[in-house]
Amino acid sequence: MSKALEVSGLTVVYGQIAAVREVSFTVEAGEIATIIGANGAGKTTILNALCGLRDVRAGTVTLGGDDITHLPPHERVRHGLSQVPEGRRLFGRMSVAENLEIGAYARSDHAAFRADLDHVLELFPRLKERYRQLAGTLSGGEQQMVAMGRAMMARPRMLLLDEPTMGLAPQIVDLVLDAVRRVNREGVTVLLVEQNAYGALEIADRAFVLESGEITLSGHGLDLINHERVRAPIWDMTHDHRGPGPDPVAPSPADPSPARGAGRLSRGDARTGRRGHRHHRARAAGAARADRDRGVLGLGRSADAAGLRQPRDRRPRRHRRVEGVLRERDRP
């Protein structure tokens, strides 16, 4: 087997604190690998570093033999790396169809678009039934399928999944894990990050236990299920410290509507029309969020964000449409 992903000495810091310390692991092509760990262990930080959404302090990331440690996120998508982010981050006010379409933006071979769409709908038949429905009105499990389908539209060689079973009922968890298996059988290498250790270990060829930013144990998934460190709860899986998961029918957190109406002046000066610091903070946070989504979707940074002005936007119409959605959603 060849190495799909090789991570060596990965260290990621937030300010002075190293959230991930000298983490090394390998995923072979065609495998399902999992990183399990408690809330705050550093799972999302690792995935974001792999996608280029977090700077790496030290270490290297090699994908299919190519060093991608310092590539921008959208180039990594072109290299065949796709992420299903934590919390799904769908566009709740767009239809299932449109959400899937967005996943194909990084691709240049638009002729194959239709074939890939059919393929994704075959993989997740439920999405065919829900094709024209707004993503925000789907159940949590269905939303997860849309998020996976969207990632598959980029035709990844490797799929990264950040806690896809979070907040889902046990039967739905099984459906989602089953979908992960099906994607893997299509020849896509999977790196699954989970707090729900047992479900992940059951389907994983290779597993790593992450504790406080360090890998403390590794082995075959089924072997680790019976390992005393995993059995004796190294973390309490019955309590999710973030409280209950998302309401299955609530609009997804990426619903492009939050903070609408907040275009009003926030603690600004009503007479001069100057906007207050809260407005500017919200705007900066919105811009950061939109940039993250562009990275995940392989769109690259917007010309605005890069400090450039394009005299005329020559990108395909579908690119421009999603830019519009991101701008609308993140308008303070």
Ligand X SMILES: Nc1ncnc2c1ncn2[C@@H]1O[C@H](COP(=O)(O)OP(=O)(O)O)[C@@H](O)[C@H]1O
Binding site for ligand X (CB under 6 A): 14, 19, 37, 39-45
Q: Which does 40 bind (CB under 5 to 8 A by kind): ligand X, Mg ion, none?
A: ligand X
User: What is the Cα–Cα distance from 253 to 87, expressed in whole angstroms?
Assistant: 7
Q: How far is CA 68 from CA 25, 63, 75, 301, in A?
A: 15, 7, 9, 18
- Closest separation in Å from C-beta 145 to Mg ion: 20
Q: How far is CA 4 from CA 21, 51, 169, 193, 324, in A?
A: 22, 14, 32, 17, 35
Only one residue has tokens 């460190």, namely: 229
User: What is the Cα–Cα distance from 177 to 59, expressed in whole angstroms?
Assistant: 31
- Closest separation in Å from C-beta 26 to ligand X: 20
Distance of CA 272 to the CA centre of its chain: 42
User: Using CB under 5 A, which of 34, 44, 143, 252 touches Mg ion?
Assistant: 44
What's at 16, amino acid-wise? Q
- What is the x/- site pattern for Mg ion, positions 63-92, by CB under 5 A? -----------------------x------
What's at 152, amino acid-wise? M
Q: Which does 14 bind (CB under 5 to 8 A by kind): Mg ion, ligand X, none?
A: ligand X
Which residue in the shown chain puts its C-beta closest to Mg ion? 44
- Closest separation in Å from C-beta 113 to Mg ion: 31
User: What is the Cα–Cα distance from 147 to 151, expressed in whole angstroms?
Assistant: 6
- Closest separation in Å from C-beta 142 to ligand X: 24
Q: Which does 180 bind (CB under 5 to 8 A by kind): ligand X, Mg ion, none?
A: none
Q: Which does 39 bind (CB under 5 to 8 A by kind): Mg ion, ligand X, none?
A: ligand X
184 binds Mg ion (CB under 5 A): no
Closer to ligand X at the Cβ: 45 or 189?
45
Closer to ligand X at the Cβ: 250 or 288?
288
Which residues are registered as beta bridge partners of 25?
A: 7
**DSSP label of 252:** P
- Closest separation in Å from C-beta 37 to Mg ion: 9
- Closest separation in Å from C-beta 286 to ligand X: 16
Q: Is the dihedral of CA 255, 260, 263, 269 positive or negative?
A: negative
Using CB under 5 A as the criterion, which residues of the chain lie in contact with Mg ion when the complex forms?
43-44, 86
